Chain A
């Protein structure tokens, strides 16, 4: 029985008085929303994904995109999304795919945490006049430093430090693979990160040759599919990351559709042309923490113990215990990805309903590692829904060493979070491999957007630290005293280990 079509989500209109028939909208919308009929541009609103490419490119501001009000009967429980998902599945019998992060209306905890500032008794520090230190070392730290006295009475360092990543800012760019996103997007981000003295993840798609110039600022990722992994790949990275899970889809693997696997992607990933790239949910050589530990150690052995090895997991209910296990597996950092993390493609039900917020995960992991007396020996990198410098600052105050940004970096390249990444038609040239579309990003120009973003946030973090009377990031890390919870219930406050607004020091 046919259900019929669902109403369009957006309404696209053109102001014909303003339109000069340049047809840029037709060129720019890969979804075919616009066509010319005589002296008029006609629109097909149903095709629109709300990516705003046409609006951005229209020289006359003649295009209007509105979210179309629901024209179903309104209902507080049976929302538009709930009903459309059913229509969709009743027709297809398939899993519903989606892109980008969680769209459920649950307020981010970050927005309910407030930062501190000094008044009178304790001077704020002005970052324009005083040094502010945001340099962050990611990797293993010794529990203590041992020194020895030389025969001449000098003091020598007896402790050997493990390799660490030296980041000039606590902001890094997380893993988005070549395949999921375009090479031009990757190149823009890699150069932007290098410019700011920080790092970027390759994702599980291997390392394309054109990224070799930035390899000292890249963290190479190994996922269950092992795409693009060989000894050369390992040796090129500044660090190696094993991906166990991802915030947008905890517990399941990855799937890059065959149509995105063009020649360059297939070479970089080391897989046949146009074949689906499937990374299974588990790594088939990791069924226990001991197995993980072996993989960590073999990767270190393969690279002569010169590179830190990170392990990335999704923030799930028991994240603290899992992270503690990872911390003891010889890994140098635990990456935790919260349930707001973005993705190129994930089943909607996972993206919206599995996992926990990164804020709670950071606090729980930091607390657990601290209780076990090993917090300072391993780094915590937090990701999944970091939107601005305040989120970064709060994440660090909750206990992270640094953060990965993903969506935010894409937004700096133009992404409008339309959520259609899985369709390979990203009009901004990001989540696509179609050459006409990827050509929309010139990495030699767009890298500046990425570096500007990181730079701007870094300045803001310095200001926030200065206001709190702190001039070095080490003193912000895990400093929950500098946070207060606003409109958070007692249970969340206790997991976060943060006092409520209005509460003073002890």
Chain B
């Protein structure tokens, strides 16, 4: 189960969160009130050059002090605030959501590394060693809102209609294999990457081990996390263009590869041989975003639904056409992407 919907405005015109809330809520059949969330790109124009670090605190004494000690060691905090929340009848505040706008010091780890590496280091350190603190988003100009609750409740809890951006992703969760908890709600974010996912990744054990061999640590107790890390590994660290990175995650079948013309065959064989442990198995439909665009992909035999639609400058990706039509009744084009074939929408 689970419902996802995502939209990009290719001209970067801002959209507020009200439409996405309505769209997601229509898919309540696909959730059970144990987790929903939203992410928006372009949310913090005034801090666009800073990494927006989102943290769930269990209390503001021990964990917060410990996290801030780490932040101090690794860079400077430009601004921090409690994320405003408005309690709902059924949604009690389980953690205190906090955000920092942070500039890393590239020399903080002794030798010069990239800013991104410092953020990955920070997130891993906090999530594995500081109980009561969980960093769940680290992207520039990206806001993530999530909690254990129904889509409307979570939207109202954070008042997402007050935020604006050019990409929205959202997720309505029906957890089956892991507990519904705040950290486990989607979207998952790492740096510029955000992921929403409907499905189950049966290759999780393999993917997780593969990521560990590159230093990633999975701490969210859910399979979706690996998608964000795999995307980061393939696209940021290994510099693969998005199309190829997605091909590595959901590659063509060997039978199809065998029938390709030589150059393409060599390419696809190499990709599959090198990234076998990164390929994802099981039923899934995922949408991955970065500040440049969004991409939706399903598993290789399309065991989960995904619909794409265009209306003017906007591209929608969702589990259901009905959800798209709530936001945009008149669409220019609606189609069902083929299994394993990514649909990519980029800003112009």
Residues of A at the B interface (CB closer than 8 Å) are 118, 120-123, 125, 130-131, 133, 135, 137, 141-147, 155, 157, 159, 161, 164, 366, 369-376, 397, 468-472, 474-482, 504-506
Q: Is the CB of B202 within 8 A of A469?
A: yes
A472 to B244 CA separation, bound complex (whole angstroms): 19
Residues of A within 8 A of B266 (CB): 157
CA distance A137 to B273 in the complex (A): 7
Across the interface, which residues of B come within 8 angstroms of A135, CB to CB?
254
Contacts A131-B255, A133-B253, A147-B244 given: A141-B274 contact, CB under 8 Å? Answer: yes
Other-chain residue from A118, A120, A371, A376 in contact with B277 (beta carbon distance below 8 A): A376
For A472, what are the chain B residues with a Cβ–Cβ distance below 8 Å? 279, 281
Answer whether residue B14 sits at the interface, using C-beta atoms and an 8 A cutoff: no
Knowing A137-B273, A145-B240, A159-B270, the reply to whether A504 touches B206 (Cβ < 8 A) is no
Q: A121-B176, A481-B205 are in contact. List 6 more A-B contacts (CB 8 A).
A: A122-B199, A144-B237, A145-B275, A147-B244, A480-B205, A505-B178
> Which of B204, B210, B237, B282 touches A376 (beta carbons < 8 Å)?
B210
Q: In the complex, are the beta carbons of A482 and B205 less than 8 A apart?
A: yes
- Distance between B240 CB and nearest chain A CB, rounded to angstroms: 7
A122 touches B202 (CB 8 A): yes
Contact status B273-A141, CB under 8 Å: yes
Bound Cα distance A397, B301 (Å): 22
CB under 8 Å from chain A, chain B span 286-305: 300-301, 303
Contact indicator A469/B281 (Cβ below 8 Å): yes
Chain A residue numbers with a CB within 8 Å of B72 are: none
Question: Can you name the residue of chain A whose Cβ is closest to the Cβ of B300?
Answer: A471
In the complex formed, the residue of B with least CB distance to A497 is B209
Q: Is B222 an interface residue (CB 8 A)?
A: yes
A131: chain B residues within 8 A (beta carbon) = 253, 255, 301
Q: Tell me whether B270 and A478 are in contact (CB under 8 A).
A: no
Q: Does B271 contact A (CB under 8 A)?
A: yes
How far, in angstroms, from A103 to B244 measured CA to CA in the complex? Answer: 51
Contact with A along B178-219 (1 / 0, CB 8 A): 100000000000000000000110111110111011110000
Q: Which residues of B contact A (CB under 8 A)?
A: 1, 176-178, 199-200, 202-206, 208-210, 212-215, 221-223, 237-241, 244, 253-255, 266-267, 269-277, 279-283, 300-301, 303
Contact call A479/B178, Cβ cutoff below 8 A: no
CB distance from A404 to the nearest CB of B (A): 20
- Complex alpha-carbon distance, A475 and B213, angstroms: 16
A122 touches B283 (CB 8 A): yes
Report yes or no: B213 in contact with A118, Cβ–Cβ below 8 A: no
Q: Find the residue from A142, A373, A471 having the highest chain B CB count within 10 A.
A: A471
B24 to chain A, nearest CB (A): 21
Contacts of B275 in A (CB 8 A): 145
Chain B residue at minimal CB-CB distance from A137: B273
Closest to B275 in A: A145
Nearest-neighbor residue (CB-CB) of B267 within chain A: A157
Residues of A within 8 A of B204 (CB): 479, 481, 505
Q: List 23 A-B contacts (CB under 8 A).
A: A120-B176, A122-B282, A122-B283, A123-B283, A125-B301, A131-B255, A135-B254, A145-B244, A145-B270, A155-B241, A370-B212, A372-B213, A373-B213, A374-B213, A375-B277, A468-B202, A472-B281, A474-B206, A475-B202, A478-B277, A482-B205, A505-B223, A506-B221
Of all A-B residue pairs in the complex, the 6 with the closest CB atoms, nearest first, are A481-B205, A475-B203, A474-B276, A475-B281, A479-B205, A121-B176
Q: Is A375 touching B239 in the complex (CB atoms < 8 A)?
A: no
A118 vs B266: C-alpha distance when bound (angstroms): 34
CA distance A471 to B203 in the complex (A): 10
Residues in B with CB closer than 8 Å to A133 are 253-254
Given A130-B301, A155-B241, A370-B213, A122:B200 Cβ within 8 A: yes
Residues of B within 8 A of A376 (CB): 210, 213, 274, 276-277
B271 and A145 contacting across the interface, CB-CB below 8 Å: yes
Residues of B within 8 A of A369 (CB): 213
Judging by beta carbons under 8 Å apart, are A505 and B177 in contact? Answer: yes
Cβ of B206 and Cβ of A479 under 8 Å apart?
yes
Looking at A121, A130, A375, A397, the one whose CB has the most chain B CB atoms below 10 A away is A121
CB distance from A146 to the nearest CB of B (A): 7
Within 8 Å by CB of A123, from B208, B209, B238, B303, lies B303
How far is the CB of B244 from the nearest CB of chain A, in Å? Answer: 7
Residues of chain B lying within 8 A (CB to CB) of residue A504: 177-178
What is the chain A residue whose CB lies nearest that of B282? A469
Inter-chain CA distance A1–B43, complex, in Å, is: 96
Set of chain A residues within 8 Å of B208, measured between Cβ atoms: 481
Contact of B274 among A144, A469, A481 (CB under 8 A): A144
For B269, list chain A residues within 8 Å (CB).
161
- Minimum CB–CB distance for A376 against chain B, Å: 6
B residues in contact with A147, CB < 8 Å: 239-241, 244
B274 contacts A145, C-beta separation under 8 Å: yes
Q: Is A477 in contact with B277, judged by CB distance below 8 angstroms?
A: yes
Chain B contacts of A157 at CB under 8 A? 266-267, 270
A470→B282 contact, CB < 8 A: yes
Give complex CA distance A482, B221 in Å: 16
Task: Check B280–A475 contact: CB distance below 8 A.
Answer: yes
Measured CA separation A120–B200 after assembly (Å): 11
* Assembled-state Cα–Cα distance A131/B283 (Å): 14
Contacts of B281 in A (CB 8 A): 469-472, 475
Chain A nearest CB: distance from B245 CB in Å?
10
For B215, the chain A residues whose CB sits under 8 A away are 373
List the B residue with the shortest CB-CB distance to A476: B206
Residue of B nearest to A506 (CB): B221
A370 partner residues in chain B, CB cutoff 8 A: 209, 212-213
Distance in Å from the Cβ of B263 to the closest Cβ of chain A? Answer: 8
> Complex Cα distance A155/B247, Å?
14
Which of B209, B272, B283 touches A469 (beta carbons < 8 Å)?
A: B283
* Identity of the chain A residue whose Cβ is nearest the Cβ of B299 in the assembled complex: A471
Residue pair B240, A121 in contact (C-beta under 8 Å): no
Q: Which residues of B contact A475 (CB under 8 A)?
A: 202-203, 206, 279-282
Question: B205: which A residues are within 8 A, CB to CB?
Answer: 397, 478-482
A141 to B240, CA, bound (A): 17
Closest partner residue, chain A, to B281 (CB atom): A475
Contacts of B1 in A (CB 8 A): 121
A371 contacts across to B, CB distance below 8 A: 212-213
Most chain B Cβ neighbours within 10 Å, of A131, A135, A376: A376
Please give, as numbers and ranges, the residues of chain A lying within 8 Å of B241 by CB-CB distance.
147, 155
Q: How far apart are A164's CB and chain B's nearest CB, in angstroms?
A: 7
Known: A118-B202, A122-B202, A471-B301. A142 touches B274 (CB 8 A): yes
Q: In the docked arrangement, what's the CA distance between A366 and B274, Å? A: 17
In this complex, what residue of A is CB-closest to B248?
A145
The answer on a CB contact under 8 Å between A146 and B283 is no
Query: What B residues does A469 contact at CB under 8 A?
Result: 200, 202, 281-283
| A155–B271 CA distance with the chains assembled, in angstroms | 13
A481 to B237 CA separation, bound complex (whole angstroms): 27
